Amino acid sequence: MLLFEKRYFIFIFLIFFVKGCGFTPVYKDSISNKLLVGNLAIISSNTKEGFYIREIVLRRFGISQNPIYELTIITKISKKSEIITSTNEITSYNLFLDADFILTDSRTKKEYLNLSSSAKTSYSATATYTGYATQAAENDALKRLSQKIAEDIILRLLITFARE
């Protein structure tokens, strides 16, 4: 009985502590979310990864007819061989994606945010005549990297506007 009362007391204490500190979820319908939804123009590099990132961010904030903010995303991708067999065949690659993103006011050109994000993933290469499996694995890895970068951009945008 005493153990139950302790747990109950700790649970009640945690509820009051979390409510009292001003904790609010970033992804909830907050002011930061309302400021960005439908008010963001996205300019990304003309690459596969730029397209993937742009689509994910657009899915979150929507397409804007009269944007208040402009998000510029510049990506750089690099590939490095990871595992080389004794017969000099590469069986695994590391893929790195670096993205710089700048959020500006589209009217005054005031810069709100200038940050960068990086992500890394790996994929396996197979020794086939066509190389289709390796190309498909690389494309999937690129999509995973773009997802990671896009989520980081969305989170940083929401945090930035939650402070204002």
Q: Calculate ∠ Cα 117-122-123, nearest 5°.
A: 140
C-beta of residue 96 within 8 angstroms of C-beta of residue 77: yes
Q: Is the CB of residue 38 less than 8 Å from the CB of residue 69?
A: no
What's the pLDDT at 94? Answer: 85
Beta bridge partners of 81: 93
Going from N- to C-terminal start, the domains of the chain cover 27-163
* pLDDT for res 83: 65
- What pLDDT is stored for residue 2 in this prediction? 47
Kindly give the parts of the chain with pLDDT less than 50: 1-2
Q: Within a 13 Å sphere around the CA of 84, how many CA atoms are in the beta-carbon half?
A: 4
Q: How many other CB atoms sit within 10 Å of the CB of residue 57?
A: 23
Query: What per-residue confidence (pLDDT) applies to 148?
Result: 93
What integer pLDDT is reported at residue 160 of this predicted model? 77
Looking at the domain that runs over 27-163, which CATH code has it been given? 3.30.160.150
Residue 12, helix vs strand vs coil: helix
Is the whole model's pTM more than 0.75, yes or no?
A: no
Q: Could you read off the pLDDT of 91-114 as tens digits, one per residue?
A: 778 889 999 998 888 888 888 888
